[in-house]
């Protein structure tokens, strides 16, 4: 039971679903890919999980492809989008939108921007940014970070008019909280 409940999605056959219904194991499972090998199978209405019925016979590659496509689709639906004032930030697409303007970040700029958003109430030190983004220790030169910060600041200013949005303070870097 513990193993079963630790997964949000499972693949099972109809006999396993009957066992889950009997013992209420299905309650924390979001999606069940149900392999149906019976002609007259009915799903209990008490099952709250999304049931995807797959009739036999099925090729294992087809099953894998179907599950993989669903996972990708669910991931895309749960994209991390942050809204602040008139701005929308899409972490997965690496885009910051403002009305009819948009800015695409490089991978590292995106990680830096996301990190700064997460720490929006206080400055984040160079050391912390290096650890979070590059997994560097104290011995590493901060020139790489400073170059990315410079590029990020210039993009924010030129593409979206966000002058002084990314601030350098004594204790590190911070986004202008008046916009957040």
The 10s digit of each residue's pLDDT in 63-117 is 888 888 777 777 666 567 888 888 899 888 899 999 889 999 999 999 999 999 9
Question: Residue 7 has what pLDDT?
Answer: 61
Mean pLDDT score, 8-13: 75
Which helix or strand (DSSP H or E) is residue 53 part of? strand 50-55
pLDDT at 180: 67
More confident residue, 147 or 24: 147
Through-space distance between the first and last CA atoms of the chain, rounded to whole angstroms: 44
pLDDT in tens, 30-76: 677 777 776 666 766 666 677 777 888 888 888 888 888 777 777 66
Q: In this predicted model, what pLDDT tens digit does every residue of 162-174 receive, in sequence order?
A: 999 999 999 999 9
- pLDDT tens string 140-159: 667 889 999 999 999 999 99
Helix ranges restricted to H, 24-142:
60-77, 107-118, 126-129
Q: Tell me which fold the domain 81-179 belongs to.
A: Arc Repressor Mutant, subunit A (1.10.10)
Q: Would you call 176 helix, strand, or coil by DSSP?
A: coil
CA distance 58 to 36: 10
pLDDT of the residue at 18: 75
- pLDDT band at 2, cuts 50/70/90? very low
Residue 23's pLDDT is 66
pTM greater than 0.75: no
Among 76, 78, 102, residue whose Cα is nearest residue 159: 102
Task: Please determine, for residue 11, whether its predicted confidence score (pLDDT) is greater than 90.
Answer: no
CATH code 1.10.10.10 region(s) in the chain: 81-179
Res 147: pLDDT: 93
Question: What is residue 4's predicted lDDT score, i.e. its pLDDT?
Answer: 47
Q: What pLDDT sits at residue 136? A: 72
Helix (H, G, I), strand (E, B) or coil at 129: helix
């Amino acid at each position: 039971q513990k193993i079963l409940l630790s997964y949000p999605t499972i693949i099972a056959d109809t006999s396993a679903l009957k066992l889950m219904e009997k013992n209420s194991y299905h309650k924390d499972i979001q999606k069940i890919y149900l392999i149906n090998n019976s002609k007259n199978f009915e799903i209990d209405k008490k099952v709250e999980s999304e049931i995807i019925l797959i009739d036999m016979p099925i090729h294992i590659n087809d099953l894998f492809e179907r599950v993989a496509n669903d996972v990708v689709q669910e991931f895309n639906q749960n994209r991390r989008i942050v809204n602040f004032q008139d701005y929308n930030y899409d972490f997965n697409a690496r885009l910051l939108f403002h009305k009819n303007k948009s800015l695409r970040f490089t991978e590292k700029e995106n990680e830096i921007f996301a990190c700064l958003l997460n720490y929006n109430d206080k400055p984040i030190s160079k050391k912390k940014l290096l650890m979070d983004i590059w997994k560097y220790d104290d011995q590493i030169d901060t020139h790489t970070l400073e170059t990315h910060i410079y590029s990020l600041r210039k993009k924010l200013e030129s593409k979206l008019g966000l002058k002084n949005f990314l601030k350098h303070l004594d204790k590190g870097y911070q986004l202008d909280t008046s916009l957040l």
